[in-house]
Amino acid sequence: MRLEGRRVRTERLLIGCPVCQEPEILELFLRSLRRLELPGVQTAYCFVDDNHDPRSKALLAAFQAAVPAVTVETPPRQEAGRQYRGHNWDEHAIWKVARYKDRMIDRALREGFTHLFLVDSDVLVHPKAVRHLMDTGKAIVSQVFWTRWQADAVEQPQVWLRDFYTQFDQEPGERLTPAEERARTYAFFDMLRAPGLYEVGGLGACTMVRRDALEQGVNFRPVRNLSFWGEDRHFCVRAAARDIPLFADTVYPAFHVFRPEQLEGGRDFLRRTEQG
Protein backbone atom coordinates (compact mmCIF):
# COMPACT_ATOMS: atom_id res chain seq x y z
CA MET A 1 0.00 0.00 0.00
CA ARG A 2 1.07 3.57 -0.68
CA LEU A 3 0.38 6.68 1.39
CA GLU A 4 -1.20 9.54 -0.57
CA GLY A 5 -1.52 12.41 1.87
CA ARG A 6 -3.66 10.91 4.62
CA ARG A 7 -5.26 8.32 2.39
CA VAL A 8 -3.87 4.80 1.98
CA ARG A 9 -4.16 3.45 -1.54
CA THR A 10 -4.06 -0.28 -2.14
CA GLU A 11 -2.06 -1.26 -5.20
CA ARG A 12 -4.10 -3.45 -7.52
CA LEU A 13 -2.36 -5.24 -10.36
CA LEU A 14 -3.89 -6.95 -13.38
CA ILE A 15 -1.55 -9.35 -15.19
CA GLY A 16 -2.78 -9.92 -18.74
CA CYS A 17 -1.73 -12.27 -21.51
CA PRO A 18 -3.28 -13.53 -24.75
CA VAL A 19 -2.20 -17.18 -25.00
CA CYS A 20 -1.65 -19.32 -28.08
CA GLN A 21 1.33 -21.35 -27.02
CA GLU A 22 3.05 -24.72 -27.13
CA PRO A 23 2.34 -26.57 -23.88
CA GLU A 24 6.01 -27.12 -23.03
CA ILE A 25 6.67 -23.36 -23.18
CA LEU A 26 3.39 -22.43 -21.52
CA GLU A 27 4.14 -24.70 -18.56
CA LEU A 28 7.37 -22.76 -17.87
CA PHE A 29 5.61 -19.42 -18.31
CA LEU A 30 2.91 -20.29 -15.78
CA ARG A 31 5.55 -21.56 -13.35
CA SER A 32 7.28 -18.19 -13.59
CA LEU A 33 4.02 -16.39 -12.78
CA ARG A 34 3.35 -18.55 -9.74
CA ARG A 35 6.73 -17.51 -8.27
CA LEU A 36 6.10 -13.76 -8.43
CA GLU A 37 6.79 -11.93 -5.18
CA LEU A 38 4.04 -9.34 -4.79
CA PRO A 39 3.55 -8.68 -1.07
CA GLY A 40 0.71 -6.29 -0.33
CA VAL A 41 -0.45 -6.13 -3.97
CA GLN A 42 -3.96 -7.28 -4.85
CA THR A 43 -3.24 -9.29 -7.97
CA ALA A 44 -5.57 -10.69 -10.60
CA TYR A 45 -4.83 -12.52 -13.85
CA CYS A 46 -6.59 -12.29 -17.19
CA PHE A 47 -5.79 -14.76 -19.98
CA VAL A 48 -7.38 -15.05 -23.39
CA ASP A 49 -7.29 -18.75 -24.21
CA ASP A 50 -6.63 -18.77 -27.95
CA ASN A 51 -4.89 -22.16 -27.79
CA HIS A 52 -5.47 -24.90 -30.33
CA ASP A 53 -3.65 -27.59 -28.36
CA PRO A 54 -5.87 -29.14 -25.65
CA ARG A 55 -2.81 -29.61 -23.44
CA SER A 56 -2.28 -25.84 -23.37
CA LYS A 57 -5.95 -25.30 -22.55
CA ALA A 58 -5.60 -27.78 -19.68
CA LEU A 59 -2.57 -25.92 -18.31
CA LEU A 60 -4.52 -22.66 -18.18
CA ALA A 61 -7.46 -24.40 -16.53
CA ALA A 62 -5.14 -25.91 -13.89
CA PHE A 63 -3.58 -22.50 -13.20
CA GLN A 64 -7.04 -21.02 -12.79
CA ALA A 65 -8.01 -23.77 -10.33
CA ALA A 66 -4.85 -23.31 -8.24
CA VAL A 67 -4.39 -19.53 -8.19
CA PRO A 68 -6.89 -16.95 -6.84
CA ALA A 69 -8.48 -14.29 -9.05
CA VAL A 70 -7.76 -15.84 -12.45
CA THR A 71 -10.04 -15.17 -15.41
CA VAL A 72 -9.67 -17.26 -18.56
CA GLU A 73 -11.61 -15.76 -21.44
CA THR A 74 -12.60 -17.43 -24.70
CA PRO A 75 -12.08 -15.35 -27.84
CA PRO A 76 -15.26 -14.10 -29.50
CA ARG A 77 -16.31 -16.22 -32.46
CA GLN A 78 -15.49 -13.44 -34.90
CA GLU A 79 -11.89 -13.45 -33.65
CA ALA A 80 -11.30 -17.06 -34.69
CA GLY A 81 -8.66 -17.44 -37.35
CA ARG A 82 -5.08 -18.36 -38.01
CA GLN A 83 -2.76 -19.30 -35.19
CA TYR A 84 0.07 -17.06 -34.04
CA ARG A 85 2.10 -19.48 -31.94
CA GLY A 86 5.57 -20.27 -33.16
CA HIS A 87 5.90 -16.59 -34.18
CA ASN A 88 4.06 -17.20 -37.45
CA TRP A 89 2.50 -13.76 -37.35
CA ASP A 90 0.44 -12.06 -40.02
CA GLU A 91 -1.69 -8.92 -39.98
CA HIS A 92 -4.81 -10.82 -38.94
CA ALA A 93 -3.06 -12.33 -35.90
CA ILE A 94 -1.34 -9.08 -34.89
CA TRP A 95 -4.51 -7.02 -34.72
CA LYS A 96 -6.46 -9.83 -33.11
CA VAL A 97 -3.94 -9.86 -30.25
CA ALA A 98 -4.04 -6.05 -30.15
CA ARG A 99 -7.80 -6.24 -29.57
CA TYR A 100 -7.28 -8.75 -26.75
CA LYS A 101 -4.78 -6.41 -25.08
CA ASP A 102 -7.12 -3.46 -25.45
CA ARG A 103 -9.87 -5.41 -23.70
CA MET A 104 -7.43 -5.92 -20.83
CA ILE A 105 -6.81 -2.17 -20.76
CA ASP A 106 -10.56 -1.60 -20.64
CA ARG A 107 -10.90 -4.04 -17.74
CA ALA A 108 -8.04 -2.45 -15.80
CA LEU A 109 -9.71 0.95 -16.12
CA ARG A 110 -13.21 -0.28 -15.42
CA GLU A 111 -12.28 -2.29 -12.32
CA GLY A 112 -9.95 0.23 -10.71
CA PHE A 113 -6.58 -1.48 -11.12
CA THR A 114 -3.60 0.76 -10.41
CA HIS A 115 -1.27 -1.16 -12.74
CA LEU A 116 -1.52 -3.43 -15.78
CA PHE A 117 1.29 -5.86 -16.60
CA LEU A 118 1.14 -7.22 -20.15
CA VAL A 119 3.47 -10.13 -20.82
CA ASP A 120 3.87 -12.60 -23.68
CA SER A 121 3.38 -16.27 -22.92
CA ASP A 122 6.94 -17.22 -23.91
CA VAL A 123 8.61 -14.71 -21.56
CA LEU A 124 9.76 -15.98 -18.17
CA VAL A 125 10.01 -13.32 -15.48
CA HIS A 126 12.19 -13.11 -12.39
CA PRO A 127 10.23 -13.47 -9.10
CA LYS A 128 11.16 -9.90 -8.07
CA ALA A 129 10.74 -8.26 -11.49
CA VAL A 130 7.07 -7.28 -11.46
CA ARG A 131 7.22 -5.65 -8.01
CA HIS A 132 10.41 -3.91 -9.13
CA LEU A 133 8.73 -2.52 -12.26
CA MET A 134 5.94 -1.09 -10.11
CA ASP A 135 8.51 0.47 -7.78
CA THR A 136 10.28 2.33 -10.60
CA GLY A 137 7.39 4.79 -10.54
CA LYS A 138 7.43 5.03 -14.33
CA ALA A 139 4.17 5.23 -16.25
CA ILE A 140 5.34 2.71 -18.87
CA VAL A 141 8.33 0.44 -18.34
CA SER A 142 9.41 -2.88 -19.84
CA GLN A 143 11.66 -5.52 -18.35
CA VAL A 144 14.36 -6.27 -20.91
CA PHE A 145 15.02 -9.70 -22.36
CA TRP A 146 17.42 -10.73 -25.11
CA THR A 147 16.65 -12.79 -28.23
CA ARG A 148 18.46 -14.17 -31.26
CA TRP A 149 15.77 -13.42 -33.84
CA GLN A 150 17.67 -15.68 -36.23
CA ALA A 151 19.61 -18.66 -34.92
CA ASP A 152 22.97 -17.31 -36.15
CA ALA A 153 22.35 -13.67 -35.23
CA VAL A 154 23.58 -11.63 -32.28
CA GLU A 155 21.28 -11.34 -29.25
CA GLN A 156 19.17 -8.19 -29.27
CA PRO A 157 16.90 -6.61 -26.66
CA GLN A 158 13.18 -6.20 -27.33
CA VAL A 159 13.49 -2.42 -26.87
CA TRP A 160 14.63 0.16 -29.37
CA LEU A 161 15.29 3.89 -29.72
CA ARG A 162 13.17 5.04 -32.64
CA ASP A 163 11.22 4.05 -35.74
CA PHE A 164 10.50 0.35 -36.25
CA TYR A 165 13.50 -1.22 -34.45
CA THR A 166 16.40 1.22 -34.74
CA GLN A 167 18.84 0.62 -31.90
CA PHE A 168 21.36 3.43 -32.36
CA ASP A 169 21.26 7.16 -31.71
CA GLN A 170 21.29 9.54 -34.65
CA GLU A 171 20.84 13.30 -34.65
CA PRO A 172 18.46 14.85 -37.20
CA GLY A 173 20.29 15.24 -40.49
CA GLU A 174 23.29 13.23 -39.25
CA ARG A 175 24.68 10.76 -41.76
CA LEU A 176 26.31 7.61 -40.44
CA THR A 177 28.37 4.94 -42.12
CA PRO A 178 27.37 1.30 -41.60
CA ALA A 179 30.36 0.93 -39.27
CA GLU A 180 29.20 3.88 -37.18
CA GLU A 181 25.69 2.45 -36.99
CA ARG A 182 27.07 -0.87 -35.76
CA ALA A 183 29.30 0.83 -33.19
CA ARG A 184 26.39 2.85 -31.78
CA THR A 185 24.13 -0.21 -31.76
CA TYR A 186 26.66 -2.16 -29.72
CA ALA A 187 27.07 0.81 -27.39
CA PHE A 188 23.29 0.70 -26.82
CA PHE A 189 23.53 -3.04 -26.10
CA ASP A 190 26.43 -2.50 -23.69
CA MET A 191 24.42 0.11 -21.81
CA LEU A 192 21.47 -2.27 -21.43
CA ARG A 193 23.72 -5.06 -20.15
CA ALA A 194 24.36 -2.95 -17.04
CA PRO A 195 21.57 -3.09 -14.44
CA GLY A 196 19.59 0.13 -14.56
CA LEU A 197 16.64 2.09 -15.90
CA TYR A 198 16.94 3.69 -19.34
CA GLU A 199 14.64 5.84 -21.47
CA VAL A 200 13.93 4.26 -24.87
CA GLY A 201 11.71 4.89 -27.87
CA GLY A 202 9.97 1.54 -28.13
CA LEU A 203 9.28 -1.55 -26.05
CA GLY A 204 6.91 -4.46 -25.59
CA ALA A 205 6.16 -8.04 -24.56
CA CYS A 206 6.93 -7.57 -20.83
CA THR A 207 5.48 -4.18 -19.95
CA MET A 208 4.09 -2.50 -16.85
CA VAL A 209 1.60 0.31 -17.49
CA ARG A 210 0.47 2.58 -14.67
CA ARG A 211 -3.16 3.65 -14.44
CA ASP A 212 -2.52 7.29 -15.28
CA ALA A 213 -1.04 6.24 -18.63
CA LEU A 214 -4.12 4.11 -19.31
CA GLU A 215 -6.33 7.07 -18.45
CA GLN A 216 -4.43 9.18 -20.99
CA GLY A 217 -5.56 6.80 -23.71
CA VAL A 218 -2.64 4.52 -24.54
CA ASN A 219 -3.84 1.46 -26.44
CA PHE A 220 -2.92 -0.97 -29.21
CA ARG A 221 -5.26 0.20 -31.96
CA PRO A 222 -3.54 0.89 -35.28
CA VAL A 223 -2.48 4.47 -35.86
CA ARG A 224 -4.09 5.11 -39.23
CA ASN A 225 -1.22 7.04 -40.81
CA LEU A 226 1.51 4.65 -39.56
CA SER A 227 2.63 1.62 -41.57
CA PHE A 228 4.87 0.00 -38.92
CA TRP A 229 4.31 -3.74 -38.46
CA GLY A 230 3.37 -4.88 -34.97
CA GLU A 231 0.91 -3.61 -32.38
CA ASP A 232 3.64 -2.62 -29.89
CA ARG A 233 4.93 0.04 -32.33
CA HIS A 234 1.52 1.67 -32.49
CA PHE A 235 1.19 1.55 -28.68
CA CYS A 236 4.58 3.24 -28.30
CA VAL A 237 3.92 5.93 -30.91
CA ARG A 238 0.60 6.72 -29.24
CA ALA A 239 2.33 6.99 -25.85
CA ALA A 240 5.02 9.30 -27.25
CA ALA A 241 2.36 11.48 -28.88
CA ARG A 242 0.84 11.87 -25.41
CA ASP A 243 4.25 12.84 -24.02
CA ILE A 244 4.50 9.69 -21.91
CA PRO A 245 8.15 8.56 -21.77
CA LEU A 246 9.01 4.89 -22.22
CA PHE A 247 11.60 3.11 -20.10
CA ALA A 248 13.52 -0.15 -20.19
CA ASP A 249 14.61 -1.80 -16.95
CA THR A 250 17.50 -4.25 -16.81
CA VAL A 251 17.77 -5.04 -13.10
CA TYR A 252 15.93 -8.37 -13.33
CA PRO A 253 16.19 -9.48 -16.98
CA ALA A 254 13.55 -11.88 -18.27
CA PHE A 255 14.18 -14.96 -20.40
CA HIS A 256 12.59 -15.42 -23.83
CA VAL A 257 11.83 -19.01 -24.84
CA PHE A 258 11.80 -18.06 -28.50
CA ARG A 259 12.45 -21.53 -29.87
CA PRO A 260 11.73 -25.03 -28.53
CA GLU A 261 15.46 -25.68 -28.31
CA GLN A 262 15.61 -22.95 -25.63
CA LEU A 263 13.38 -24.90 -23.24
CA GLU A 264 16.36 -26.13 -21.24
CA GLY A 265 17.64 -22.57 -21.00
CA GLY A 266 14.23 -21.58 -19.66
CA ARG A 267 14.31 -24.36 -17.06
CA ASP A 268 17.79 -23.24 -16.03
CA PHE A 269 16.54 -19.63 -15.70
CA LEU A 270 13.77 -20.80 -13.36
CA ARG A 271 16.23 -22.82 -11.28
CA ARG A 272 18.71 -19.96 -10.99
CA THR A 273 16.15 -17.32 -10.12
CA GLU A 274 14.48 -19.54 -7.53
CA GLN A 275 17.82 -19.44 -5.71
CA GLY A 276 17.76 -15.65 -5.65
For the stretch 169-197, pLDDT in tens is 999 999 999 999 999 999 999 999 999 99
For residue 259, count other CB atoms closer than 10 A to its CB: 15
Judge whether 241 and 224 are in contact, CB under 8 Å. Answer: no
On the 0-12 / 13-18 / 19+ scale of CB atoms within 10 A, 79 is middle
pLDDT at 6 over 50: no
Which of 47, 55, 50 has its CA nearest to residue 83? 50
pLDDT at 78 over 60: no
Reported as a single tens digit per residue, the pLDDT across 227-265 is 887 899 999 999 999 999 999 999 999 999 999 999 999
Residue 227 has a pLDDT of 81
Cα separation, 270 vs 248, whole angstroms: 22
pLDDT band at 85 (very low <50, low <70, confident <90, very high): very low
pLDDT band at 80 (very low <50, low <70, confident <90, very high): low
Residue 184 has a pLDDT of 98
The rounded radius of gyration (Å) of the Cα atoms in the chain is: 18
